[in-house]
Amino acid sequence: MKGHPQQSIEFLKNEGRVNWHDETLWWVRQRRDNAAHGLTEWERLREKASEIKDYTLSHLDELLLNFEEKAIQNGIRVHWAGDAKEHNQIVHRILKEKKIDFVVKSKSMLTEECGLNHFLEEQGIEVIDTDLGERIVQWMQQKPSHIVLPAIHLKKGDIGAVFTEKLGLPQTNDAQVLTEAARQDMRKYFVASKVALTGVNFGLAKEGAFVVCTNEGNADMGVHIADVHIASMGIEKLIPKQEHLGVFLRLLARSATGQPITTYSSHFRSPSPGKEIHLILVDNGRSAILGKPDFRSSLKCIRCGACMNTCPVFRKTGGHSYESVIPGPIGAILSPHKDPVRYKSLPFASSLCGSCTAVCPVKIDIDKQLYLWRQELSKKDNMGRAAHFLAGEILASPSWFNFGSRSFYFFHKKFPALVNRLLKPFTGKRPLPEAAPQTFREWYKKNA
């Protein structure tokens, strides 16, 4: 594992692309702002969503039991998976029973988390990702770089090239033509598929039903044509009852892309006659996070991606730099629970500006958790402690700060190349600007 600063260097090599990524996500963030400002009750909705999720977490066992009971009554087959491996085995068992060699799958961060595609491919079952962005990254043998916009790190030229390679389409940058080609190609799989996989956006405890949201209609194309629908759901995706969707569906798409609602909000309660719905409830570390009072609110996440779009570090370094399934601010506080060594650099991939917390529709205190993780990880890590000392002690003491900044100023002025080389892991390709003729303090003393 190289860690976030090293990984970012790759991304930062192409300055034009970095700027495009930055500006595009900022534009999505602005669309979110416009949609949010259009609702006078926006802040009260966030408050309510947060309360409902807090209630859910504090009653999660009872609500899951109720959900299971009702879902079974509705004819849904419910499975429980303690970890990723068990989840994958359950899916595989169902597929083996049906004797099929490929499945269509709509976007599900949970199946990414479980490494399902890789697992099934090892068993000789092909997985066709049907979301256009996911299909593109799958073709390129990459991972999604964003949870809502999986191919946001790619440009039309890259995408055109992979369409030429995979579908024989003459190279084009026309999004309309590319989308049409993907549509025609994907229909072949949709009409032939027997089993379709989806994620779940919301499970409804009282009704034993669940909701899947998409814009492309790919989840619905898959599951309604196939005979078997397998839905993978993290146990934290539950809400107490259907009427609470009023709050969550008003928040989700507005936070994600600025749309008033996704094109399709599909409500599944029971299978069509003769068909099957399997629902897999997955823990995979969630119940452990529930036991950590400072961190449990991260389980309230509805995966809207707003914290990524607003994060200056994410926008400038790209999702792949995080090397975790969920990137960005929420990924930086979730991933270290899985592996604190592997993901130790992620809580430091933040300026702690708090913008993530300010936009989060369920009011997770992301910036606070980033800070707490830094403390926790620094205890384990000397490098972290040194950084912590530099940042914490020096900034807290005026005389140390003065000494520090004057020495830095001196070195930077005398040996700019050396300073730039030493700071490269932090500054990437961008050299520091030239040292000013005097420090701010000196200027202030003279001019104030």
| Binding positions for ligand SF4, 305-344, rule CB under 6 A | 305-307, 330
Cβ-Cβ contacts under 8 Å for 338 (sequence gap 6 or more):
285
Does the protein bind ligand SF4 through residue 302 (CB under 6 A)?
A: yes
Using CB under 6 A, which residues numbered 150 to 169 contact ligand SF4?
none
Strands 77-81 and 276-282, bridge-based pairing: parallel
Query: What minimum distance in Å lies between the beta carbon of 351 and other proteins?
Result: 25
Query: What minimum distance in Å lies between the beta carbon of 37 and other proteins?
Result: 12
Facing residues of 276 across strands? 228
Q: Which option in other proteins, ligand SF4, none does residue 307 bind, with CB closer than 5 to 8 A by kind?
A: ligand SF4
Burial 215-245 (b: 16+ CB within 10 A, else e): bbebbbbbbebbbbbbbbbbbbbbbbebebb
The two three-digit tokens of residue 154, written as one number: 């790619």
Applying CB under 8 A, among 81, 114, 256, 308 the residue interacting with other proteins is 81
Cβ-in-10-Å burial (0-12, 13-18, 19+) of 37 comes to: exposed
Applying CB under 8 A, among 66, 130, 201, 255 the residue interacting with other proteins is 130
Counting residues that bind other proteins (by CB under 8 A) gives: 90
Applying CB under 8 A, among 142, 215, 420, 439 the residue interacting with other proteins is 215
* Distances in whole angstroms, Cα of residue 231 to Cα of each of 77, 83, 280: 10, 16, 6
Using CB under 6 A, which residues numbered 358 to 387 contact ligand SF4?
359-362, 364, 366
Only segment of 110-118, 186-194, 340-348, 366-374 that touches other proteins (CB under 8 A): 186-194
Asked if residues 369 and 295 have their Cβ atoms less than 8 Å apart, the reply is yes
Sign of the torsion formed by the C-alpha atoms of 19, 23, 24 and 26: positive
Applying CB under 6 A, among 46, 105, 278, 303 the residue interacting with ligand SF4 is 303
Q: Which option in other proteins, ligand SF4, none does residue 159 bind, with CB closer than 5 to 8 A by kind?
A: other proteins
Applying CB under 8 A, among 3, 203, 240, 327 the residue interacting with other proteins is 240
Phi/psi zone of residue 361: left (φ > 0), alpha (ψ -120 to 50 degrees), beta?
alpha
Per the document, the length of the chain is 448
Does the protein bind other proteins through residue 3 (CB under 8 A)?
A: no
Q: Which option in other proteins, ligand SF4, none does residue 364 bind, with CB closer than 5 to 8 A by kind?
A: ligand SF4
Does the protein bind ligand SF4 through residue 208 (CB under 6 A)?
A: no
Using CB under 8 A, which residues numbered 25 to 64 contact other proteins?
27-28, 39-41, 44-45, 48, 51-52, 54-55, 57-61, 64
Q: Which option in other proteins, ligand SF4, none does residue 361 bind, with CB closer than 5 to 8 A by kind?
A: ligand SF4
Which residues in 19-112 belong to E strands, given as ranges?
77-81, 102-105
Q: Which option in other proteins, ligand SF4, none does residue 302 bind, with CB closer than 5 to 8 A by kind?
A: ligand SF4
Cβ-Cβ contacts under 8 Å for 241 (sequence gap 6 or more):
204, 205, 206, 207
Which residues in 165-313 belong to E strands, given as ranges?
195-198, 202-204, 209-214, 228-234, 238-239, 264-268, 276-282
